[in-house]
A and B are shown apart, each in its own frame.
Chain A
Amino acid sequence: MSEHRDFPDNRRVVITGLGMATPLGTGREEFSRRLFQGESAVDAVQAFDTGAAASHLGAEVRDFQPRDFISIKNLRRMDRLSMLATASARLALSDAGIAVTAENRDRVGILFGTAFGATDVTVQFEDALLAQGPGAANPILVPNTVMNAPAGYASIELGFRGVNVTVTHFAVSAETAVAYAASEIRRGTADVMLAGGADILSKFYYEALSKFRGLSPDDGGPEGAHPFDERRNGYVAGEGCGLLCLESLACARERGAKICCEITGAGLGSSPAPPTAWPRDPEGFCRAFLRALKQARIDVADVSAVMAAANGSRVLDAVEAAAYEGLFASRAVRPWVTSIKGALGESFSGGGIRACALALSVERGCLPLTVGLERPAAPLNFVAGKKVKTHLKHTVLSGISFGGACACLVFSRCE
């Protein structure tokens, strides 16, 4: 079997650091402990009143102390999304053991994904503008209404001046960002790339998701997060940030960095879908999945596990399960399938957190269980009930968005 070892080391992309601020804690230690313990962060929303919505659960980032990560000078101007992103960027660099210096700062960059940006700030700005007129518009808020603010603040706080791009494509924002960041490393335009994404919960946004009938319970039944479960009736909204630190294998080796895993492939594709609906046709996703395997030069039979996109939505989970049934049909042993959205909710650019979770899984040889999955709605090899310890050679991070965009990444053990 032909593998990525055929590529020169400067064309191989490895993950050397993880940074996250999530509903299951901030930083690698706390996050991985709570994730692999099978803890759920789903709880009644505390940050705002959900009285106007039909749902009340969420997975919130609590006990996050921005002061631990961000200077007062920059903190004063930042919104919550930017704080989560900047803290995660600092954590990822420090986890990788990289200090940004005058010598390397032009070769360190970020590819940041966010589905909705700072909805809290936009609403605050519009509130003043529409209720009191243009004179009440607050100039301090202006940069924070733009989705590129988190990456901008992170660069200012941490001093890196290389490639700096924000991608927004709904539920595949972060997966897409990671795919592009890997290509920047391969192209040689950067030595170190932070990549992933973040989204936040805000009152207006939560109410809108509820009105669009995305949130559990969409059927008036009991509210909860149940990916791939027969009882599923919508997703629970989440928030948080996850960023990977990427560099070439050559770079990582040269500085003696510990290597978490390798990104061996990325596949992008799409299926037609109405604007706010999940695609009903698994074809676009299968295409993205197979393209990712092709880039990784592996076959479906080589996949040990899949970190699924399923969030408890009736349509999404069914389409994704159907895709796997088709993709894995000819295999004797089926790959493990797990979704962490039962524990962390659907945060749209949660692909950043999921990428961190998958990288940890490959590193440890352990898969987190699908919290909330008791009655599987499909005959797949789910990680349910308890975590699974197993050697993970090649794994896939699956991304599927409402609107139809799909993005898959292959994370492999770095041999």
Chain B
Amino acid sequence: MKKRIVITGMGTKNAIGGNVSEFARSLREGVCGISQIDLFDTTDFRTHKGGQVKDFDPRRSIPEEFSLKRISRADALSMAAALEALTDAGLYPLQENIKENMGIAIGGGAGGLLEAESFYADLLRKGKERSKYSQLSSLFCASSADRIASSLEFSGPRATFMTACSAGATALGYARDLILNGHAGIMLAGGVEPMCRLTYAAFNALKSVDEDVCRPFDRNRSGLSLGEASAVLVLEPLETAQNRGAKIYGELMGYGVTCDSFHMTSPDEKASGAARSMRAALADGGLTVEDIDYINAHGTATPVNDLTETKAIKEVFGSRAYQIPVSSTKSMHAHTLGASGALEGIVSLLALSKRFVPPTIHWRERDPECDLDYVTQGARRAELRAVLSNSFAFGGNNTTVIFGRYEGQGAIHE
């Protein structure tokens, strides 16, 4: 029988939570984290809002023993989340025997591009000789996993996934497999996405950003809200977790990865890729649609995504599609791209362990084609057995992850 892999620790920085418990409270209360951003000047942009991590001071979240020299925002956000997750799991400070088999899988995003843009702007102004190339040392997104693993002296595998908006979810799935295949004992897995000018300009150039706040599944939805976040989870075999008396948020039941093979920036209108991804995750977990009690939607609030995703859910779930809640928490924390799959993994595990369904906020008017139960009137208390979380991306990359409630020793009772 396949080993069961559980989640024993979580950490995050996002627009509605400086840590996991604050994040849980905000999700329940339907807090909106989308507002004017101030990381860079948005004057010349068409839009000005986003889900920024406000008041982030790396030193307040990362102890003195870790150098912050040349650290990028992305690396600092992910390091903070990693330390929170390890502490939450009761693993920090790390013991030598744990380090040896500890690995890390991170869904990457813009990496150190925010800092590189400052460098590049300098370079354009002042010329090559006077620019500080050291500002580029954390440019690429693999830097976050390296920084965390080197600082904490892991000897296990390291990998960074770059499947755009599904990267965080993909990292969770592969982290599970690295444990199942014997490559690692315990894995840190998650995603990080910093805001930067390139991303902001890119989505604006594609005209896929809502000037106000995103309104997932609403009839008049007109685009997404861009966000940033770090989200890191601790994955380990159930047996290991029980032996060390860890608390358990839930189980990673299954995941599926597929490709649209259709268009680089638009989903397949027939929703085949999204439907196949959900089916692959169900099959991987040995589950049926009857086992799923809540869908944490990709729900970006672009006209085409929400329509396609609704179609795909109906195709896979049949009549059950109308019986289970489907919500997009991006309405609160915005679309955190490379981090979103991991961040929404945390949402799913909070929903399971704290027994609630987070809402879709900002929804105003019913779309005749988006006719599922989108939880538009606030959070609900609910006993959930399993939660399915979707992440779909540019390049036609789809990933679905399913988390299950855990009932035995170490279960969280709230």
Contacts and interface: CB of A to CB of B under 8 A. Distances in A.
Interface of A: 52, 77, 105-106, 109-110, 114-117, 122, 125-127, 129-131, 133-135, 137-139, 142-143, 145-149, 151-153, 155-156, 159-170, 173, 176, 180, 183, 187, 189, 207-208, 211-212, 266-276, 283-284, 287, 291, 295, 403-405, 407
Given A125-B201, A180-B174, A275-B70, 8 more contacts: A129-B201, A148-B397, A151-B397, A156-B263, A165-B170, A270-B154, A270-B157, A271-B155
Contacts of A274: 150
Interface in B107-151: 108, 117, 120-121, 124, 128, 133, 136-138, 140-143, 145-147, 149-151
B272 A161 contact: yes
B158 interface: yes
Most buried by A among B44, B200, B257, B276: B257
Nearest to B265: A143
Contacts of A117: 162
B161 A165 contact: yes
Contacts of B149: 270, 272, 404-405
Nearest to A78: B264
Contacts of B70: 275
A168 B142 contact: yes
Interface in B153-201: 153-164, 170, 174, 177-178, 181-184, 197-198, 200-201
5 contacts: A106-B258, A146-B164, A168-B140, A189-B257, A272-B149
A187 to B, nearest CB: 7
Contact of A170 (B140, B182, B205, B265): B140
Contacts of A142: 202-203, 205-206, 265, 394
Interface in B41-90: 44-46, 70
Contacts of A130: 117, 120-121, 124, 197
7 nearest CB pairs, A to B: A152-B395, A268-B157, A164-B259, A403-B146, A143-B264, A147-B162, A211-B133
A137 B205 contact: yes
B282 interface: no
A134 B44 CA distance: 6
B193 to A, nearest CB: 12
B76 to A, nearest CB: 13
Contacts of A110: 259
B227 interface: no
B103 interface: yes
A52 B133 CA distance: 14
A267 B156 CA distance: 10
Contact of B397 (A135, A139, A152, A212): A152
B260 interface: yes
B261 interface: yes
B137 A276 contact: yes
B204 A137 contact: yes
A166 B256 CA distance: 15
A159 B158 contact: no
Nearest to A132: B44
Contact of A168 (B141, B156, B178): B141
A176 B261 contact: no
Contacts of B262: 156
B273 interface: yes
Contacts of B140: 115-116, 168, 170
Given A156-B264, A275-B143, A405-B158, A163 B257 contact: yes
Question: Which has the most chain A C-beta neighbours within 10 Å: B160, B272, B273?
Answer: B160
A296 to B, nearest CB: 13
A183 B181 contact: yes
B396 interface: yes
A139 B284 CA distance: 37
A110 B395 CA distance: 12
A52 B131 CA distance: 13
A243 to B, nearest CB: 16
B280 interface: yes
> Which of A114, A211, A266, A267 has the largest number of chain B CB atoms within 10 A?
A211
Contacts of B146: 170, 273, 275, 403-405
Given A122-B198, A274-B150, A287-B155, A148 B204 contact: no
Given A134-B201, A142-B265, A148-B397, A161 B276 contact: yes
Contact of A148 (B44, B45, B163): B163
